[in-house]
């Protein structure tokens, strides 16, 4: 496929020679065709990025595409009570199923690969296995989990969280988008029954293994010179809201010494977050802010900033966030600012199942790099209930959640073949 098939792609192609099996694999051709079909859906003409938000028109088009792929392959298609899509080869009720898939929704102006690469690769891997004449001894399913990115309602992995019982129906009903539309209304408008949502333990109990292929959201594989890697763990991460309250006043007439300006405290806290994260080898980001009264000529009365922080382990994350909070409180005292800090969400470390991870590494020849990630995934949510693993495909830019997100064609095909090998190894034993 040409670079035009990869919107926003940088010309950073891998230095590795093509996988010699790629030219024979049917997976490569079917990957290309599916990728071309999916590429225009929800793509914004100006930014080149994707706006595939949960239960939107673009999301519906992606879902229609998924169903068509399932039906074209003679798979049994269904949506579950939470609106996640499933395409089954074999008996969905038999149990011990091998499931693969990812998500088709996007962040605002997201890249083409985060999510769709896993879904497209799943169908392509199945095509490859059919070319090989693989006989399956376990049911196989491909999934598209709904609302993974949380771009519309502010909570990530809604479809898998609901299924796993980590988000209750009551809490889900409180979710609102920027226009004030609630999740139930949005689901209903898209033709789904919001009354049905909730934990789905019977469905999860029928899954023997879940493998999610995903574009890497960092440069570890680029640096190691590998096309494909296996996930070790998802870093623990959380979101904290910092409310800095001062006093609104005139920007022209209020002497500096008389001000209680929460923007100063906020700014110092941002710098402290950077310093503490760097010291600990973690990450910390203030990426969202709201200001009141939000006037050019007004000293703010309130600055509200959201901290996202992640680290390789819980102790490190605790250390970083505690240090940021301490710095913020000390500065708030100096500035005469009232500070409130609320932890809005938290996801503990997810260690992917070692036995499945080791088996995948054995299936793939034993030399596949194993790497951690700071990004959350449906696989991480499901890991509480199901043996779960992830495959990563090299992303030479390391950029994600941006139109610059990229994976080269050879690497995508290598991902399809690795996934096909893993599914064959798991589902034919």
Which residues bind to Zn ion, rule: CB under 5 A? Answer: 114-115
Residue 331 three-state SS: helix
List, as one string, the DSSP characters of 193-230: -GGG-S--HHHHHTEEEEEEEEE-SSSHHHHHT-SEEE
CB of 98 to Zn ion, least distance (A): 20
Class of residue 362 by CB neighbours under 10 A (exposed 0-12, middle 13-18, buried 19+): exposed
HSE at residue 312, side-chain half, CA atoms within 13 A, is 7
Nearer to Zn ion, 102 or 265 (CB): 102
Yes or no: say if 140 and 90 are a contact pair by the CB < 8 Å rule: yes
Nearer to Zn ion, 114 or 147 (CB): 114
Nearer to Zn ion, 8 or 115 (CB): 115
Yes or no: say if 84 and 212 are a contact pair by the CB < 8 Å rule: no
Backbone angles phi, psi at 264, to 5 degrees: -65, -45
Yes or no: say if 352 and 389 are a contact pair by the CB < 8 Å rule: yes
CB of 252 to Zn ion, least distance (A): 47
CB of 324 to Zn ion, least distance (A): 27
CB of 6 to Zn ion, least distance (A): 17
CB of 149 to Zn ion, least distance (A): 7
d(CA 301, CA 263): 9
Nearer to Zn ion, 236 or 246 (CB): 236
Nearer to Zn ion, 50 or 192 (CB): 50
CB of 148 to Zn ion, least distance (A): 6
Locate 89 and state its tokens: 């080869």
Nearer to Zn ion, 144 or 316 (CB): 144
DSSP 78: E
Residue 271 three-state SS: helix
d(CA 24, CA 142): 23
CB of 257 to Zn ion, least distance (A): 49
d(CA 121, CA 173): 33
Nearer to Zn ion, 238 or 376 (CB): 376
């Amino acid at each position: 496929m040409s670079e035009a098939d990869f919107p926003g792609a940088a010309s950073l192609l891998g230095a590795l020679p093509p996988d010699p099996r790629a030219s024979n694999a049917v997976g490569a051709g079917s990957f290309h065709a599916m990728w071309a079909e999916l590429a225009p859906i929800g793509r914004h003409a100006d930014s080149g990025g994707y706006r595939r938000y949960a239960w939107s028109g673009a999301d519906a088009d992606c879902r229609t595409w998924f169903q068509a792929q399932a039906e074209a392959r003679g798979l049994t298609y269904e949506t579950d009570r939470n609106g996640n899509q499933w395409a089954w080869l074999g008996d969905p009720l038999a149990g011990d199923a091998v499931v693969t898939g990812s998500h088709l929704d996007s962040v605002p102006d997201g890249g083409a690969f985060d999510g769709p690469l896993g879904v497209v690769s799943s169908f392509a891997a199945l095509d490859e296995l059919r070319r090989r004449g693989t006989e399956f001894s376990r049911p196989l399913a491909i999934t598209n989990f709904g609302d993974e990115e949380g771009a519309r309602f502010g909570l990530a992995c809604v479809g898998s969280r609901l299924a796993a019982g980590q988000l209750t129906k009551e809490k889900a009903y409180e979710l609102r988008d920027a226009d004030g539309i609630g999740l139930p209304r949005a689901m209903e408008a898209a033709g789904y029954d919001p009354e049905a949502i909730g934990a789905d333990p019977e469905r999860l109990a029928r899954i023997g293994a879940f493998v999610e292929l995903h574009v890497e959201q960092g440069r570890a594989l680029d640096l190691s010179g590998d096309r494909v890697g296996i996930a070790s763990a998802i870093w623990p991460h959380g979101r904290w809201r910092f409310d800095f309250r001062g006093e609104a006043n005139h920007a022209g007439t209020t002497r500096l010494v008389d001000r209680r300006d929460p923007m100063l405290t906020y700014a110092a806290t941002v710098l402290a977050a950077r310093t503490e994260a760097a010291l600990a080898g973690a990450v910390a980001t203030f990426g969202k802010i709201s200001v009141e009264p939000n006037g050019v000529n007004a000293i703010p009365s309130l600055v509200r900033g959201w901290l996202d922080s992640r680290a390789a382990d819980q102790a490190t994350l605790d250390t970083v966030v505690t240090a940021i909070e301490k710095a913020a409180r000390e500065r708030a005292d100096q500035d005469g600012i009232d500070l409130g800090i609320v932890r809005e969400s938290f996801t503990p470390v997810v260690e992917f199942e070692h036995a499945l991870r080791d088996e995948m590494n054995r299936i793939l020849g034993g030399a596949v790099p194993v790497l951690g990630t700071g990004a959350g995934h449906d696989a991480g949510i499901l890991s509480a209930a199901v043996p779960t693993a992830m495959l990563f495909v090299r992303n030479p830019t390391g950029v994600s959640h941006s139109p610059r997100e990229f994976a080269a064609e050879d690497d995508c095909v290598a991902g399809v073949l690795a996934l096909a090998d893993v599914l064959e190894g798991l589902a034919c034993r």
